[in-house]
Every structure is written in C-alpha cells, then in structure tokens.
Amino acid sequence: MPNQVYKFAMELKPFEAEEEIKRLLLAQISADEILGSLQKAMIDACEKYHAGEFAIPHLWAVVTTFSMGYKLIKDRVKGGEKGKVLMGTLGSMHYIGKDIIKFLFMANGFEVRDLGENLLAEDYIDGIREFNPDVIGVSIFLTNAIPSLREIVEFMKKSSLRDRMKIIIGGVQANSEVAKKFDVDGWARDPKSALSLVNTLMDELKKVKRRG
C-alpha cells in the first residue's frame, strides 16, 4: 500500500520508493493515495530538518523521492488546486533551496512553474506573462542580482498586476530590509516559513477576489 512509499521515502530510499509506486500503479492503486504518501513524506522531512533530525542531504533524498514519484503519477492527479506559483533564481546557479521549496509547494497542492537558475528580470517578466501566477517567488543569492528584483516589481506595477499577484523573496540576500525596500509581499528564511507565507498570501488573494 502507499504507506510503504512513505516508509521508503523517510528511510532515504528513493529508488525503492520509485519501484513501489510502479507496482502500486500496476495494481490500480489510486494515484491520489500515492500522492498523499509523498506529500506526507515531504512535510515530515521538512519538520525533521527544522527539528535538527535531518540535514540537507537527508532532506534532499526525500525531495528526490517526491520528484521521481510525482513524475510517475502527475498525469493521473489534479494539480494547482491551491494556486499557481512561479519560481526561479536571479543571477546565480543556486538551486538546492529553491528546489526543496518547489517540491514542498507541489506537495501542498500548488501548481509550480520553475524558471530555473541564473535568470534575468526579463525571464521572470516573460514567465509572468505566460503563466499568470498567483505568487511569484524570487531566490536571491548574490547582491548583484538584487537590482533585477526592482525591474520585476516595476513591471508588475506598470502592468496593473501588483494588486492581483503577490511576490516574495528567499535566499541568502533576502531579509526584511530588502523586502521593504523593493516593496515585495514578504520573505522566507527556510522551506517551512516559505510555505506558511504563500498560504497566507493565497488567503489574502482569495479575499480580494471575493470582494471583487
């Protein structure tokens, strides 16, 4: 049953979990049930990381399990029930933190588009136009990438998108001062706070839509 998928994930055995998922699908086990086990593993792994019971390599092994498993079931489950998130890393090749957060969002019902790494402001602007996200997540690891954040926010304002889209920042250069200076909706220091922030912002957007 899907519980075995969870067990393999938490034991840091992604390939065993992948084989178990294949077996379950052949046995006509619901993809939603399998996804539930993967979601629980992601959430529990993040909790263990914050409690000091998992290090980054342990957490990354569970992320790998989720990624491999999700590829097998994604065409059989509904995604994006909570909203749409656009993500990427500005001006550098850092990806581990972003990818952990990406899969945590996916595990919690968000539809996520990852633009990748070493991005320019123009890459985000194109992504906003194409994907029409609810929330935009910008990872910033180098100081020379910070000015690009201003370009993204200015585009949102000029395009009258600022009231119906939220933008958040994360990464080494993210803090409350940068968030305030560039007029973004919040910042997150870790996966858990990022998920909490996005859930809060989505609730705010839903209230605005109901009033509108």
Q: Which helix (H) or strand (E) holds 86?
A: strand 83-90
- Section 174-201 average pLDDT: 94
CA distance 142 to 139: 9
Least confident of 27-36, 77-86, 173-182, 201-210: 77-86
Whether the predicted pLDDT of 39 surpasses 90:
no
Q: For all residues of the chain together, what is the average pLDDT?
A: 93
Q: Which helix (H) or strand (E) holds 111?
A: strand 110-114
Whether the predicted pLDDT of 136 surpasses 90:
yes
CA distance 60 to 41: 12
Share of the chain above pLDDT 90, in %: 78
Q: Which domains does the chain have, with CATH numbers?
A: 2-76 (1.10.1240.10), 83-211 (3.40.50.280)
pLDDT of residue 211: 74
Residue 159: how many other CB atoms lie within 10 Å: 12
Assign 1 a pLDDT band (cuts: 50, 70, 90).
low
Assign 105 a pLDDT band (cuts: 50, 70, 90).
very high
pLDDT of residue 212: 63
Whether the predicted pLDDT of 151 surpasses 90:
yes
For residue 16 the two structure tokens come to: 């065993």
- Section 4-8 average pLDDT: 96
- Section 157-185 average pLDDT: 95
Return phi, psi of residue 82, to 5°: -90, -25
State the pTM of this model: 0.86
